[in-house]
């Protein structure tokens, strides 16, 4: 059961990160233009931030998808979702009229819904870390018949 839940979490994270990266890459010009409006990223060239964001999302998706790198992928996913949640929260509570730079349907969410969505995926990724840890720490209780 634990492994099945872990597989579902990894599938959801992989899907989220591939979708988000693809949506941003397909409309890279708009993505970079929106990043340029962020007061939190003012000192970093938007094309650099955009490229690193897309690359990191693809890396997280690939790491989570592969069993040998799943643990690293879950840690990266948790870190990314925590950073995205904090970023969105700071923009929402301390600034006005800053467009969301997320692509696709995620960019259409209002800030409160998007923050809740990000927090939910942060908790999901963290749950994946716990499930991965416990599935590796404890041997299976199944016994083989004699």
Q: Is the pLDDT of residue 104 over 60?
A: yes
Look at residue 145 and tell me whether its pLDDT is greater than 80.
Answer: no
Confidence check: pLDDT of 125 > 70: yes
Residues 6+ apart with CB under 8 A from 17: 57, 58, 60, 61, 64, 77, 80
Place of tokens 């690939």: 62
Within 10 angstroms of residue 133's Cβ, the number of other Cβ atoms is 12
Q: Tell me the pLDDT tens digit for each residue of 16-65.
A: 999 999 999 999 999 999 999 999 998 999 999 999 999 999 999 999 99
Region at 20 (left for phi over 0; alpha for psi -120 to 50; beta for the rest): alpha
pTM of structure: 0.87
DSSP reduced 3-state for 38: coil
Percent of the chain past pLDDT 70, that is, above it, reads 92
**For the chain, domain boundaries:** 2-137
pLDDT recorded at residue 49: 94
In the three-class reduction of DSSP (H, G, I as helix; E, B as strand; rest coil), residue 135 is classed as: helix
What whole-number distance in Å separates Cα of residue 46 and Cα of residue 7?
A: 35
């Amino acid at each position: 059961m634990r492994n099945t839940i872990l597989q579902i979490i990894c599938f959801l994270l992989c899907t989220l990160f591939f979708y988000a990266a693809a949506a941003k890459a397909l409309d890279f010009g708009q993505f970079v233009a929106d990043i340029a409006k962020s007061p939190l990223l003012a000192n970093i060239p938007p094309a650099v931030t955009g490229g690193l964001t897309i690359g990191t999302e693809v890396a997280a998706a690939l790491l989570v998808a592969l069993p040998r790198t799943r643990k690293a992928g879950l840690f990266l996913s948790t870190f990314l979702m925590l950073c995205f949640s904090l970023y969105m929260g700071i923009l929402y509570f301390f600034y006005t009229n800053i467009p969301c730079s997320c692509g696709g349907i995620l960019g259409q969410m209002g800030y409160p819904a998007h923050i809740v969505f990000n927090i939910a995926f942060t908790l999901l990724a963290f749950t994946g870390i716990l499930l991965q840890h416990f599935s590796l720490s404890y041997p299976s209780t199944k016994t083989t018949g004699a």
